[in-house]
Amino acid sequence: MAEYFADILPQLPQTLTRKDIANYFGTLISPRYLANLDCAGKGPRKITIGRKVAYKLEDFINWLEARVKEEPLQ
């Protein structure tokens, strides 16, 4: 997993809800944004239990890493 998330990984549970993600990542990723991505089939692989949605930590981080773009220094 990327160096970007190395500091936070030990603090995260193995399964994350959308609310957990909002708590850890603040306004970067909101529960509503994740729900919209899930409906479009563009979100991380999810686990559903009834109406509740969760993500395995590894699946979420892999998805997030694929979306990270670095801007070159000028």
At 67, phi and psi to the nearest 5? -95, -10
One digit per residue, pLDDT tens: the chain, 74 residues?
456 677 778 888 999 999 999 988 888 899 999 999 999 999 999 999 999 999 999 999 889 888 887 777 77
Does the pTM surpass 0.85? The reply is: no
Which parts of the chain are beta strand (E)?
15-17, 47-49, 52-56
Return the residue matching tokens 């773009």: 69
